[in-house]
Amino acid sequence: MASHAATVQLAEQHPRGLYVLFATEMWERFSFYTMLAMFTLYLRDVTGQGFGWSSDRATGLYANYLMFVYASPLVGGWLADRIIGYRRAVMIGGLFFIAGHLLLSIRSEPVVYVALTCLVVGNGFFKPNVSTMVGNLYPDGSHLKDRAYNIFYMGINIGAFLAPVVAEFVKTRFGFHPAFAVAAAGMVISVMILWRLKRHIEGVDRPRGVTASATPLPIDSVPTPRRIAALVVIYLIIIVFWMVFHQNGSTMTYWANENTDWSVTGIISNAINPGWVILLTFPLVAAWRWLDRRGREPSTPVKMMCGMIATSLAFFVLFLAAKHGESTVSGADIYAYKVSPLWLLGAYGVLTAGELMLSPMGLSLVSKVAPAHLRGVMMGGWFVATAIGNKLTQIGQLWDDMPHSSFWLLLSGSALVMAFVLLALLRPLKKAMPGA
């Protein structure tokens, strides 16, 4: 009996490799979001550091960059699956990331495009494969996998929280280009962690099999084409989420910069969302654990549906804020209002709750549902859906063409429609994803 209890206790512990990947991803995301927090403001800068681009042009390049940066994991995932392995792919991606951020520290429009190309290639190798490695630390059927991705996701957001804070500090005192160099330094730390602690993740290039209590798994009885089709449905749903969520680097940054009544720039607003993630992750993980022990934890598709509803509500909060601000001005001054930063803080809090039920849950879902020999490719497919959603962030080019309140309401309505679509598809999705 004592031996059995010890085995169960051990099975409930996360492996050390999770925390190695946590730190690796944390510093990579610090690097990534340091750049992203400044990028559109850098392109629009008229002080001589940037290029004085219009909002439309900056938003267009931002959308195209995000599209390519999140599409590239399909290729990187395939190469890792078939040829180079996940750990080696992540190392290669890290080196490309370092080069890209260093190049951005040089003021030159042609160099910007070379730098973005390096970042796209780097993300293609890095992003899907570090996520796949997390899943491969756990046997199939492990109830720890969802919670592992929540913990891993918090690592992402610690890096994402620190990034705009550091970017604001360095950019304000030294300018944009030294701040881009800081992003490269963060990536150096990420690569060094992965290299020095590689002994803890030696087995991540292959799945760990199944838990004894989960053999055979219900998902094994579902044909591969049906499992892939179910994931494609999830990908289509998530496109809309990323379209509205990643307004945080463009229109939400513009709104924070120009319509929020505070004494800092819009760069710092990019710290709000990851700050909320850090605050909410462990309470949410504890809630899932509490429900799991009582056999009442919702399925992953149900969690994702709730996340879409929360996303819709967040942009409705922004609609109310903008409507309030617009009521204080008139005519040509419709864009010149200022509102309390509490509106932005509150909206981001609701949006983050939605994100935590969508993004890490989606990563976990791919790891659980995709056939073992296709996990890298299917994780890449998740990021292709993300890429399409990010390309659609180009809807932000409507920002100067309609009242802000109308723009936020459009995004809120888009997310709500997809929540209802997911609700309608829950039954067939559960049949195609038993145990998910």
Return d(Cα 124, Cα 67) in angstroms, integer: 12
Write down the pLDDT at residue 6: 38
Q: Are 318 and 347 in contact (CB under 8 A)?
A: yes
Write down the pLDDT at residue 177: 94
Q: Please state the pTM of the whole predicted model.
A: 0.78
Cβ neighbours of residue 382 closer than 8 Å, sequence gap 6 or more: 73, 128, 231, 235, 238, 362, 363, 366
Query: What are the structural domain ranges in the chain?
Result: 16-198+219-432
Is the pLDDT at 308 greater than 70, yes or no?
yes
Write down the pLDDT at residue 7: 37
Is the pLDDT at 211 greater than 70, yes or no?
no
Nearest to 314 by CA among 422, 396, 241, 238: 241
The mean per-residue pLDDT over the stretch 324-348 comes to: 92
Mean pLDDT, the chain, whole residue set: 87
Return d(Cα 38, Cα 247) in angstroms, integer: 14
Is the pLDDT at 12 greater than 70, yes or no?
no
pLDDT in tens, 186-195: 999 999 999 9
How does 121-140 read in b/e, with b if 16+ C-beta sit within 10 Å? bbbbbbbbbbbbbbbbbbbb
Is the pLDDT at 405 greater than 90, yes or no?
yes
Mean pLDDT lowest among 68-82, 86-100, 261-275: 68-82
The mean per-residue pLDDT over the stretch 277-303 comes to: 86
CATH topology of domain 16-198+219-432: Growth Hormone; Chain: A; (1.20.1250)
**pLDDT class of 178 with cuts at 50, 70, 90:** very high
Is the pLDDT at 146 greater than 80, yes or no?
no
**pLDDT class of 215 with cuts at 50, 70, 90:** low
10 Å Cβ neighbour count for 202?
9
pLDDT in tens, 42-91: 999 998 899 999 989 999 999 999 899 888 888 888 888 888 888 899 99
- What whole-number percentage of the chain has pLDDT above 90? 51
The mean per-residue pLDDT over the stretch 207-236 comes to: 75
Q: Are 76 and 387 in contact (CB under 8 A)?
A: no
Write down the pLDDT at residue 2: 38
Write down the pLDDT at residue 371: 83
10 Å Cβ neighbour count for 75?
16
- What whole-number percentage of the chain has pLDDT above 70? 94
Write down the pLDDT at residue 316: 98
